[in-house]
Amino acid sequence: MIKGCIFDLDGVIVDTAQHHFQAWRRLARELGTDLTETQNERLKGVSRIESLELILQWGGIELSEAEIKQQTIRKNEWYVDQIKHMDKHEILDGVLPFMESVKAAGCMIALGSASKNAGMVLDILDIRKYFTSIIDGNKTTRSKPDPQVFEMAAAEMGLKPEECIVFEDAEKGIEAAIKGGFKAVGIGKKEVLTEADLVIPNFIGRDLNSILADLNN
């Protein structure tokens, strides 16, 4: 029986994935390389440092540890500059009614995000109140596809993985959920999120019951 829903943040609740992409591409170009949309798919759900390491690897660029740290600080400043002007309109369509349906069904809600900016985003959007548990990149020590972030969220809710559904837009996030024994619902395209138990394009017109029915089919 499902007793909890764990949501990724970027690209699931709010349209921040595009801001991460723009900031990474700006940095990649300044470093003399580039970042394609296909490559960007592989950065979704990945921590800040690991994302830059991948971009450098793809571009054949070598930087010292100190330079890597410095460049991630620049990327984060650009990213934060973008998101601090956000308002509630950037919450993805259908998400809030969906969360209301989760609450109405007596299920708990948790956040399972790799982002160290997650708390700030929740406050800007004024949606902290929905969450029983908030696990973000400041609390975890291992990145998706490791299931740690979802395991911590389930544990804080007092639930087992099989009692929770994870909602994710990243390949790595779906992989993490499956590895951890969670039900995994992909938000996006079936061709990209091939391992998910169910893929939906977005939450528009959805409630928890319709997701449970589709998962059981």
Rule CB under 6 A: which residues touch ligand BG6? 9-10, 20, 43-48, 51, 76, 113-117, 137, 170
Question: What minimum distance in Å lies between the beta carbon of 44 and ligand BG6?
Answer: 4
CA dihedral in degrees (172, 5, 190, 197; nearest 10)? 90
Helices (H), 110-185: 118-125, 148-157, 171-180
Q: Can you read off the two tokens belonging to residue 7?
A: 């949501």
Residue of 8, 136, 169, 197 marked catalytic: 8
Known active-site residue 10: yes
137 binds, among ligand BG6, Mg ion, none (CB under 5 to 8 A by kind): ligand BG6
Q: Can you read off the two tokens belonging to residue 27?
A: 């940095």
Residue from 49, 46, 51, 47 nearest 69 by CA:
49
Among 5, 7, 10, 112, binds Mg ion (CB under 5 A): 10
Question: What minimum distance in Å lies between the beta carbon of 76 and ligand BG6?
Answer: 6
**Is residue 8 involved in binding Mg ion (CB under 5 A)?**
yes
Among 5, 7, 11, 16, binds Mg ion (CB under 5 A): 11
**Total residues binding Mg ion (CB under 5 A):** 5
71 binds, among ligand BG6, Mg ion, none (CB under 5 to 8 A by kind): none
Inter-CA distances, 51 with 31, 41, 57, 76, 153, Å? 14, 11, 10, 12, 23
Q: How are strands ordered across the β-sheet holding 133-135?
A: 133-135, 108-112, 4-7, 164-168, 183-187, 198-200
User: Which positions are annotated as active-site residues?
Assistant: 8, 10
Binding site for Mg ion (CB under 5 A): 8, 10-11, 169-170
